[in-house]
Structure formats: structure tokens, C-alpha cells
Amino acid sequence: MHSLLPLPFFHVWSYLQTQPLMGLTATLCTWELACFIDIKAGHKPITNPTFLSITLLACALLVTGTPYSAYFNGAQYVHFLLGPATVALAIPMYANRHSIKKHFVPIFISLTTGSIVAAVSAMLIARALGAPHDVLVSLGPKSVTTPIAMAVAQNLGGQPPLTAVFVMITGVFGAIICTGVFWLVRVKDWRAQGLAAGTAAHGLATARMILINETAGAYGGVAIGLNGIITSIMLPLLVNIFGF
Amino acid sequence: MGGAGNYEGAMVRSIMMLLLCQLAGTVVQEGTGLPIPGPVMGLVLLLGLLIWRGGPSQSLHDTAGGFLKYLGLLFVPAGVGVVTELQVLKANALAIAVAIPVSTILGLVVTGVLMQRLLRGKADA
């Protein structure tokens, strides 16, 4: 072994595995690569940079046999910023305050109903198909933006990484099908389209709506923030009522 | 030159503002045991402050915009955690493959149709 591979290589590699530098650098490099691919592909829902980065990094960890904890040792510095970023959602919500105020009752009724239907139907279907408790409560907040969804899942005894994956699948799926669904059920109002996209499939579907119509994008932003708050409050109650 | 220096100071103040709101939210959450996550409580707190004080400063606006522009990147480390959940995903593949698409379509349809009905005839501001 020693004669085949130079010892310093092993030494450097195993040293780097104990340091935050590798995980952090790998995260940023992969993100840049994913953004490049996304631009080249013309912003297809399936080339979403978040989705691509997670897939590439997960494969890299599995191939090199690097434990997730070694990777997260560096990536935690990026992860930490989710907290202040969630607080920062207050700024776009404030910017849309007049529209929200004017249509507050319709927004509140539609959003709360849609949010409950999405969460409860997901958990009921998964329970009927045999999923255990921790999977069910990880699935419940999947329509909410990731930082909020992960915190909600953690509070309910779910698995935050599992929730992050569910949120991502929901977002990619929602972004791909939302325009088709609106066409099928004849939802033409941009405000209704944006609100529905933000409520059912958070930022990923909203990002898609922003490209089509500005008003739809603004209502999507409102839905992301409001649904985050409503789900945080409602989901623990729903989990109790339905006994998930 | 002085302007640039002030601006950088203002950015630090904006980050401090976001962190203080998150900290206050987390203190309230831990103290009361409410199921609402600390950062969400911080969001509500900042929204209240903005309404009370009349909008964000240019610096807070730009700093928040910077965070939100890279929101997609911030999800990545947690998402890579999927490597620790592969067993669970495999064991529940059918439940997940049915529950997520069906519930997402239901959520889109219910919210969209209801909102369109309720807004019928109401023009925007």
C-alpha cells in the first residue's frame, strides 16, 4: 500500500476530512456548477440548482465514502444562514402589505384551506400506505419553505433532513405541473395562481410563476411567508386531531 | 470614501438586526415552549417592527435581498442529509411516491379555485 500511493496524499486527505474547509468549499463549488448547468439548460424546473447541488454532493459523499457529519462540519456555516434568511422574508411581505391587507380575508381563507388539505392528505395517504410516525410528521410540512419546514418537523419529532428532501421533491414537482393544473381547473386569475403555487409548493413553484407574471410572483411570496406561519401553528394541532 | 465606510457599517447593522430578531424569537420559543420555530417568530417580530417604524432602511432591504437571492444555496447542506435517510426513503418509497404528488395537486387546486372564487369581481389595488 505504502509503496503504491504516496503517504503524503493519505495524510493530506485524512487531515482535510477533519477540517471544515472541504465541506464548505465543496458546497460553494457544487452550487456554482449547478447554477452554470441551470443557465445552460434555460432554467428548466428539473435543473433547479438546489436540487442539482444536493444530488451531486450526495453522490460525491456516497462515492468517496465520506460520512455526512464530516461534510456538515464545513457545510454548517452555510446551513446556519437559513435562520436569518427566514427572518429576512419579512421584507418582501412588508413590500406587499397593501395588497395583502386589501384581500386579506380571501387570502387567509384560501391559503389556510389549501395548506390544511395539502398537509392532511399527504399524511393520510402515507399512513394508509404504511409509513411510520416519524415519516408522517416529516411529510406534514413539505409544502412550506425549507427552513420553516425543518424546524416544524424537528418540533414534532420528525427527521429534518428527510423533511428537506420532501420539501425539495414537492417544490420540483409543483414547479413542473402547476401551470398545467391551473389550465385544467381553469384558474386564470394571476393572484390565485401565485397564491396556490406558493402555498402548495413554496419558493420553487413561486420562482416559476415569477417568470410568467409579476403579480403571480408577488402573491407567491406572500403565500410562502403566510403558509410558513400558518403551518407552524396548525400542523401540531392537526397531528394531534388525526393522531399521526 | 466615507459613504462606502458608512454603508458597510450599515450592512453589519442590518445583519445584526436579522440576528437579533431570530435570537428574540428563539428565546420566546424556548421560554414558552410554543411549537412555532424561533426564526418564524423572528420573522413576525421584524414584520411588526417594519409596520411600526415604517419600512426597512435601504441597507436592511439590500441585505435581506442578498440573503433571499441565495436562499436556494442555503437549503443544500440540509438536503445532502438525504444520504443518512436512504434506508427510510427506500422502506417508504411507495407512500412517498403517492403522497407527495397527490397532496401537491390537491393543494394547488383547492387554493387556486377557492382564491379565484373569492376574488371574483374584485380588482387589485
CA dihedral defined by B113, A186, B100, A141, rounded to 10 degrees?
-30
Chain CA centroid to CA B121, Å: 31
pLDDT at residue number A6: 64
Identify the CA nearest to A91 among candidates B18, B98, B26: B18
> B105 at the A interface (CB within 8 A)?
yes
Identify the CA nearest to A222 among candidates A99, A118, A114, A109: A99
Mean pLDDT by 10 residues, chain B (125 residues): 54 94 92 81 92 92 88 86 89 95 96 94 65
Read off the DSSP letter of residue B55. S
> A244 at the B interface (CB within 8 A)?
no
Identify the CA nearest to B85 among candidates A162, A79, A219, A149: A162
Q: Domain locations in chain B?
A: 1-74, 78-125
Task: Answer yes or no: is pLDDT of A204 > 80.
Answer: no
Task: Answer yes or no: is pLDDT of A124 > 60.
Answer: yes
pLDDT at residue number A1: 46
Nearest Cβ partner of A61 from B21, B83, B122?
A: B83
Say yes or no for a CB contact (<8 Å) between B111 and A196: yes
The length of chain A, given as a count of residues: 244
Residue B19 grid cell = 440576528
Whole-model pTM: value is 0.81
- CA closest to A169 among chain B residues: B100
> A130 at the B interface (CB within 8 A)?
yes
Residue B5 to chain A, least CA–CA distance (Å)? 23
If pLDDT is split at 50, 70 and 90, which confidence band does A5 have?
low
State chain A's mean pLDDT as an integer: 88
pLDDT digits (tens, 9 = 90+) for A57-102: 999 999 999 999 999 999 999 999 988 988 988 888 888 888 778 8
Identify the CA nearest to A238 among candidates A115, A128, A61, A73: A115
Segment A156-178 shows an average pLDDT of: 88
Q: Domain locations in chain A?
A: 7-80, 87-242
From chain B residues 5-44, the ones with a CB under 8 A of any chain A CB are 15, 18-19, 21-22, 25, 35-40, 42-44
Least confident of A171-185, A199-213, B35-49, B71-85: A199-213
How many Cβ contacts (< 8 angstroms) between chains A and B?
Answer: 344
